[in-house]
Amino acid sequence: MNDVLEGLRQAALLIVTFDADLMQISARSLQVTLTATLIASAIGLPLGGWVAVHRFRYRRSVIALMNALMGLPPVVVGLLVYLMLSRSGPFGVFGLLFTPTAMIIAQVVILTPLIASIAHQAIRELWAEYHDLLISMNTTRGQRIRTLLWDARRALLTAALAGFGRGIGEVGAIMIVGGNIDQATRVLTTAIALETGKGNFALALGLGFVLIGIAIAVNMAIHFASKTEVSSRW
Amino acid sequence: MVERSILPLRLTKATLHRSGKTLVGPVDMTLAPEGFTIVMGPNGAGKTSLLRLMHGLERPSSGRVEWAVDEVASRPRQAYVFQQPTLMRRTALDNVAYPLIVHGMKRQAARARAAEALRGVGLGDHAGKQAWYLSGGERQKLALARALIRNPEILFLDEPCASLDGRAIHDIEHILLTAHAAGTRIVMITHDHGQARRLASDVVFVHHGRLHETAPADAFFVSPQTQEAHAFLKGDILI
């Protein structure tokens, strides 16, 4: 119990003193995960819509695969991205390993199936509702997907937030491809892992509380910005 | 350029099967370019399937459904109002503007046209409301305004007045008659005999998926030719 109280004290101290390291690490965490969430949403939301609307031969398999990939183990993704980006890998020439870009790439791989899968669920329900109407109105497939994405935007926001949640707390992949380098690729989760390893429980806990605080703050900000729950249905 | 009419619509031995059951057909009929056709028949007779088949929401399992023009060219000139109006999760105004915008009209112009159309159906005050909050009658009027916004040549309606009260029915019939007077071909399902008598120029009587009778309204209501139609009009229960 003492550790927790000490952690809270440390967290408060770090925050009120605007600790430079903490600010930098937090900013990097946000930067990496927000960017990854944006890119994964840009891929995953239309993909979810497309799979919901388009009938093709292996549709069921694609959906099953998408759902299965939601549980993709981050360390394995980290390992694969590492191999791709390492000097001897196919994308080694870009020199991306151990940079925030590499961390973003790894997180995009982890978040895209999750976002696509949740988006697909939401859009599928709306599509069942709109199906006859949009066909009757003689819309093209692209128009149908765009309409569904727009009208399901609240549910899709939840998909994006779920992605953000998974990304901000993720440590396995970014540890491997980022390397947890001080001043370069250290983020909140990797810092916590490091401090815990060093036995610095109070600092680790302090960072942990900051991490939780950021996750809640981002969710609340988007929640209020998009006025969810203001009207009863959407 | 005067657009070529998409009518008459010709059904040749058109049949619709669904999981081994025949929902409708084989149907042979021709929808003339003018008129206000009322489709009548007991529940489950295949009225809705017939309309969906005509509109192209269902492909015929066998037989043909042919417009006077190419099928693709006919699509933008048709509209359909469903029994349960599907309202999009948007404002009333955006619901009506949607068909215009999706077919290339500028947003602002489309909204202006939609606002006008909403006033036309008496929903002028509700433009900014989310469509979901409208009452049953208002929703149906909204669906009508949306279906009519692109001036379709033919409008299909599947029981637009089911479970509405007198006032709403009166308003909707007025909208329909106005559209019809302006040249819109109308094909409408109804269970309401009174409504059928008020609106129909001709009647299609469907029972067990077959057309039992097609006749001008006057003739149909005065002296139906088939026993089933006679029983139906008398108020007997058809099984």
pLDDT digits (tens, 9 = 90+) for A147-189: 999 999 888 998 999 999 999 999 999 999 999 999 999 999 9
Residue A230 contacts B where some CB pair is shorter than 8 Å: no
Task: Tell me the mean pLDDT in the region A28-54.
Answer: 95
| Dihedral over Cα of B121, B127, B132, B135: its sign | negative
| Residue of B6, B72, B88 to mutate when probing chain A, most A C-beta within 10 A | B88
Both tokens of A118, joined, read 């949740």
The answer to whether position A193 is within a domain reads yes
Say if strands B62-66 and B185-189 run parallel, antiparallel, or are unpaired: unpaired
In this complex, do B89 and A233 lie within 8 Å of one another by their Cβ atoms? yes
**CA nearest neighbour of B195 among B215, B170, B212, B175:** B170
Question: Residue ranges of chain B with pLDDT lower than 50?
Answer: 1
The answer to whether position A1 is within a domain reads no
Q: How many domains would you assign to chain A? A: 1
The answer to whether position A209 is within a domain reads yes
Report d(CA A46, CA B13) in Å as an integer: 41
Both tokens of A53, joined, read 């609307």
The answer to whether position A202 is within a domain reads yes
Q: Are B149 and B99 in contact (CB under 8 A)?
A: yes
Report d(CA B82, CA A227) in Å as an integer: 31
Per the document, the length of chain A is 234
Residue B157: enclosing H or E segment and its boundaries? strand B154-158
The answer to whether position A27 is within a domain reads yes
Please identify among residues 61-120 of chain A the ones whose CB lies closer than 8 Å to any CB of chain B: none
CATH number where A172 lies:
1.10.3720.10
Q: CB pairs below 8 Å between A and B: how many?
A: 40
Percentage of chain A exceeding pLDDT 90: 71
Task: To the nearest 10°, report the CA torsion of A16, A20, A21, A22.
Answer: 30
| Dihedral over Cα of A166, A168, A174, A180: its sign | negative
pLDDT of residue A74: 94
Task: Tell me the mean pLDDT in the region A39-68.
Answer: 93
Q: Which residues pair with B214 in a beta bridge?
A: B204
pLDDT of residue B145: 94
Q: Is a pLDDT exceeding 60 seen at residue A232?
A: no
The answer to whether position A13 is within a domain reads no
Q: Could you please report the per-residue DSSP string of A186-215? A: --HHHHHHHHHHTT-HHHHHHHHHHHHHHH
The answer to whether position A110 is within a domain reads yes
pLDDT of residue B45: 86
A106-116 pLDDT per residue, tens: 999 999 999 99
Residue A195 belongs to domain spanning: 21-232
Residue A128 contacts B where some CB pair is shorter than 8 Å: no
Residue A155 contacts B where some CB pair is shorter than 8 Å: no
The answer to whether position A3 is within a domain reads no
Both tokens of A25, joined, read 């690490």
- pLDDT-based confidence at residue A3 (cuts at 50, 70, 90): confident
| Residue of B83, B90, B102, B158 to mutate when probing chain A, most A C-beta within 10 A | B102
Q: Say which of B78, B98, B132 has its CB closest to residue A233.
A: B132
